[in-house]
Amino acid sequence: MNISFSADLPDTGFILIPVLKDHLDSKILKDVDARTDGAVMRAARVAEFTGKPGEALTVPAPQGLADAIIVLLGLGDASDLTAKDAHGLGGKAAAQVIGKTTTAALLIDGLEIGGLKGEALAVAAGTGALLRNYDFDLYRKKTAKKDKKVLSSFAIIGSGLEKASEKMDAEKAVVEGVFFARDLVTEPPNVLHPESYAERCRELEKLGVKVTILDEADMAKLGMNTLLGVGQGSTKGSRLAVMEWKGGGDEAPLAFIGKGVTFDTGGISLKPGDGMWDMKFDMGGSAAVVGAMMALAGRKAKANVVGLVGLVENMPDGDAQRPADVVTSMSGQTVEVLNTDAEGRLVLADVLTYAQKFHKPRAMVDLATLTGAIIISLAHEYGGLFTKDDAFAESLLSSAKTAGEELWRMPLGKAHDEMIKSDIADMKNIGGREGGSSSAAAFLARFVEDDIPWAHLDIAGTAWATKDADVWPKGATGYGVRLLDQFVRDGYEG
């Protein structure tokens, strides 16, 4: 979709006007109302439109703009709005017209949302509109396509937006990364399995990313047995994809690490059949990493970043890992596997070790759809943030807020580490139902060297949505891509 910026009010098509609660005297609304000889305000009075959040009023073909359709969008109280709502504005506007038209215009002149106004608001709204305009329709062949149109052009109208197009280019690269992540998560597991996923990662080479793929033989030589153990019941070979973007000179890289379980049956600890189809998105953490690497390369980020994703399929089979097996990780630590459905942490353990041994990162962030417990704690509103480093936590929380992909810090302490003590090995892979997300994070912490800033993001509740939201249609959200990109912008670009 093309995003354009202009100071001129169009006189045809859909014209979307955001309205703060009880602010029907805004300059935007007054200007349009004057063009329509008062028709817009008359309609607002008749409909008792006040600008409450989620409220919308359509005024078709008013006098003076007879070839236009005016849509008033209620935003709610200005004091309640954040930077997330600035992105949401563009998404809300796009959602109003998707399926009705292929072009639309959004008026923002004089508007401020979450401290953003002018060019900053215009770019945020444009980004939100792009994000909401996603559609995955690859597998509808003989049946009718979805009964909707996607937008082809979206104009943002306001004064002082001359440089907005220039700034929008970087955001478009980030959106491409989000869309790539969404595509990966949405693909069916018979199409996207570890072997084919690894080849999809190679698509980043055209952007200047160095991509290295390790197969099972390569990983076996390195002793990556916790990762390999998860995939040993599958006919699809496990893979490790390493993506390097070097835009920052000789400095040590920042490492992003993702769980890529392309389908999770639970293995021998088999999940219930009802709802198991959702487990194609158990690779959402890896998709966020791959999408972020695409975004960083696409906008030519001035930073060194390495993305590493462990790709496995967790299947029950005569060769599958058993509950009570003990495996030796790449770090040399041993793990008693009591539940084969707690597999993501086993994958990440070896990838964390690999990242530290071969890339000597200045800091690490891992992302994973790791536990159902995080959904019980945070629902689908936040990703869970686990780290022992307060400063690192604050920097991630700040970037997440700016990006509109928010995190909530969760506890990670000595008590959670005690939960994973094993009677016969260095640790066990589950700590019980209580504090399950924290004990999972404590497991990962055992594979991180003490002097490296590290954080674990549990995104089980945010990688997939069962209903539409401001900046995504229901389905894969691509959560994590914008967060990671913002984190690089805030602290790692020269």
Task: For residues 403-427, give the mean pLDDT.
Answer: 97
* pLDDT value for 414: 97
Q: Are residues 35 and 180 in the same domain?
A: no
User: What tens digit of pLDDT does each residue of 100-109 get?
Assistant: 999 999 999 9
> How many domains, in total, are found in the chain?
2
Residue 145 pLDDT class (50, 70, 90 cuts): low
For a pLDDT cut of 70, what percent of the chain falls above it? 99
* pLDDT value for 27: 85
CATH number at residue 96: 3.40.220.10
Domain boundary residue, one of 98, 123, 158: 158
Residue 165, domain member (yes or no): no
Task: For residues 403-411, give the mean pLDDT.
Answer: 96
Q: Is 406 annotated as a binding residue?
A: no
Q: Domain residues for 49? A: 2-158
Task: For residues 399-403, give the mean pLDDT.
Answer: 96
Residue 419, domain member (yes or no): yes
Smallest CA-to-CA distance from 295 within 203, 123, 198, 171 is with 171
Q: Judge contact between 239 and 214, C-beta under 8 A.
A: yes
pTM value surpassing 0.85: yes
Q: Are residues 99 and 177 in the same domain?
A: no
Residue 374, domain member (yes or no): yes
Q: Judge contact between 480 and 281, C-beta under 8 A.
A: no
Q: Is 381 annotated as a binding residue?
A: no
Report CA Rg, the chain: 24
* pLDDT value for 142: 74
Domain boundary residue, one of 109, 128, 158: 158
Q: Are residues 116 and 204 in the same domain?
A: no
Q: Are residues 262 and 139 in the same domain?
A: no
* pLDDT value for 49: 97
d(CA 243, CA 256): 10
Highest mean pLDDT among 27-31, 134-138, 185-189: 185-189
Q: Are residues 482 and 455 in the same domain?
A: yes
Which runs of consecutive H residues, i.e. helices, occur in 36-193?
A: 39-47, 83-97, 118-132, 164-186
Task: For residues 330-345, give the mean pLDDT.
Answer: 98
User: What tens digit of pLDDT does each residue of 79-122 get?
Assistant: 999 989 999 999 999 999 999 999 999 999 999 999 999 999 99
Q: Is 341 annotated as a binding residue?
A: yes
User: What tens digit of pLDDT does each residue of 220-275 get?
Assistant: 999 999 999 999 999 999 999 999 999 999 999 999 999 999 999 999 999 999 99
Q: Is 137 annotated as a binding residue?
A: no
Residue 412 pLDDT class (50, 70, 90 cuts): very high
Domain boundary residue, one of 135, 158, 181: 158
Mean pLDDT of the chain: 96
User: Catalytic amino acids?
Assistant: 271, 345
Residue 28 pLDDT class (50, 70, 90 cuts): confident
Question: Which neighbouring-strand residues pair with 469?
Answer: 472
Q: Are residues 61 and 198 in the same domain?
A: no
Q: Are residues 215 and 269 in the same domain?
A: yes
